[in-house]
Chains A and B, each alone.
Chain A
Amino acid sequence: DGGITQSPKYLFRKEGQNVTLSCEQNLNHDAMYWYRQDPGQGLRLIYYSQIVNDFQKGDIAEGYSVSREKKESFPLTVTSAQKNPTAFYLCASTKDRANTGELFFGEGSRLTVL
């Protein structure tokens, strides 16, 4: 079955540590996205990528980094510079670069900083 796989589902990290969240898709979609969701709020865009080896900052990119070396993969690194990293992180994709269509989501990664 095609879809988006995020790992790990749950992650605990100590303050000051970097952590990388994995996102893999086998939908052959061009564009991929990372969102953050805090309790009681909607999703906020962190980074997005429309093609391989290219990505753009979203609304809340500070303290995060991404790479897009392969079409299928779009990992997100939460760095120690991110002041409040505890959140639910969602990876998504859209079929084409027009980016006006349906977002397909992974099941999310829940990060807790201890």
Chain B
Amino acid sequence: RKEVEQDPGPFNVPEGATVAFNCTYSNSASQSFFWYRQDCRKEPKLLMSVYSSGNEDGRFTAQLNRASQYISLLIRDSKLSDSATYLCVVWGTNAGKSTFGDGTTLTVKP
């Protein structure tokens, strides 16, 4: 079993739809969690940090569920520009060791 697993894609949704991605992690002692966005053939860019209390940034909401060991990303009112691959990242207890999920590809269609 992989340390970090993401929903398999691709997700194809119409503009305006709400879409949610999950990412599960196996190490219960993991310390911090992030969502990154990666456009085709580009470097990942930070989308959001993920906190136990949940956090929201405009149309994006991230949640952490430590009991069930997963993080989620909710995108409301999808835009064409949201089309990208979304990567979850989990930092473990070993300083310097981050683990990426394989990514979930989202395509938003007109």
Contact = CB atoms under 8 A, between A and B. Distances in A.
A100 B96 CA distance: 8
A105 B31 contact: no
Interface residues of A, number: 27
B52 to A, nearest CB: 14
A25 interface: no
Contacts of A45: 97-99
Interface residues of B, number: 25
Contacts of B36: 103
A33 interface: yes
A105 B87 contact: no
Contacts of A42: 4, 6, 87, 100-103
Interface in B88-109: 89, 91, 95-103
Greatest chain A CB density within 10 A among B34, B41, B95 is at B95
Given A42-B103, A99-B91, A101-B32, A31 B96 contact: yes
Interface string A34-56: 01000011111100101000001
Interface of B: 4, 6, 31-32, 34, 36, 41-46, 49, 87, 89, 91, 95-103
A100 B100 contact: no
Given A40-B103, A107-B42, 5 more contacts: A42-B101, A50-B96, A99-B96, A103-B46, A103-B89
B96 A48 contact: yes
A111 B20 CA distance: 34
